[in-house]
Structure 1
Amino acid sequence: MFPAENLRDWRGEKVLDPDGSKIGDLEAVYVDTATDQPAFATVKIGIIGRHKLAFVPLDGATVLPSAVRVRYDKKTVGDAPTIDLDGELEAAEEPKVFAHYNLPYQTSAPGVRRLARR
């Protein structure tokens, strides 16, 4: 995996699915609070005037010239939990993001956040 500080440089770049189809544009990186490693990105999806930010795991993602390729197809990311462009992921919504991708969700202690935006 690549360091989160390098991935931040890709804000606004294309996010592609495994087949090379554009999913959207990378908006932000969320790190796992236990490891401080990149865990998810938000991707700007939708049509003009109706954009949302969808969450996609960064595990297995690769950086290409002017794009980031993720392991999940466009439809799966499009169906993922979203937030508004100026929104924030609520703590209660974190488990839904992980569940959408069939990823285990566990925090180090009750009330502790698993994801932090960088």
Structure 2
Amino acid sequence: MQTDIDPRSLIGRKAFDRNGDKIGTVDEVYLDDATGVPEWAAVRTGLFSRDAFVPLEPSKVVEDSLRVPYDRSLIKEAPDFGVGRHLSPEQELQLYHHYGLDISSPAPDRDFGRLAGEDPA
């Protein structure tokens, strides 16, 4: 993910899958608690007003849209945790597994998935 992008600027952008099919619109951006780097985007898919979490790494911002390098069907099958809340370490690990991403073992007390604009606790 381009780290020079303001995470709030992603909200409202259209998101597309690896084939160029529209997934939906970015609803929220979640930051890594330890680094402050944008890590996940919640994309409103339009299916029953559901948000699907997508990883921002290795996604790219192209022109005015977010390009996610996964098939639309995989994205729509992502675990649904709702939006507006902090992602627990267990929820984030479920997302990593869903997308087949490799993650080094986090420290047991590490928090994940702070919302952009949310103050760290």
Fold conserved between structures, TM > 0.5: yes
Residue 101 (structure 2) aligns with: 103
- The CA deviation string for residues 55-97 of structure 1, in whole angstroms up to 9 with x for no partner, is 1111122222321111111111101111335555344322111
> For residue 61 of structure 1, what is the amino acid of its counterpart?
S
Unaligned runs of 5+ in 1: none
- Out of 68, 71, 75, the position equivalent to 2:69 is 71
Which of 9-18 and 78-87 deviates more?
A: 78-87
Residue 21 (structure 1) aligns with: 21
Residue 3 (structure 1) aligns with: 3
- Determine the C-alpha separation between the residues in 2 that align with 1:85 and 1:35: 21
Residue 32 (structure 1) aligns with: 32
In 2 relative to 1, CA 5–62 (structure 1 residues): closer, same or farther, beyond 3 Å? closer
**Segments of 4+ in structure 1 off by > 4 A?**
85-88
Question: TM-score scaled to structure 1, two decimals?
Answer: 0.80
Residue 51 (structure 1) aligns with: 49
> For residue 2 of structure 2, what is the amino acid of its counterpart?
F
Unaligned runs of 5+ in 2: 117-121
Root-mean-square deviation (CA), in Å?
2.1
Deviation at 1:38, TM superposition (A): 1.9
Question: TM-score scaled to structure 2, two decimals?
Answer: 0.79
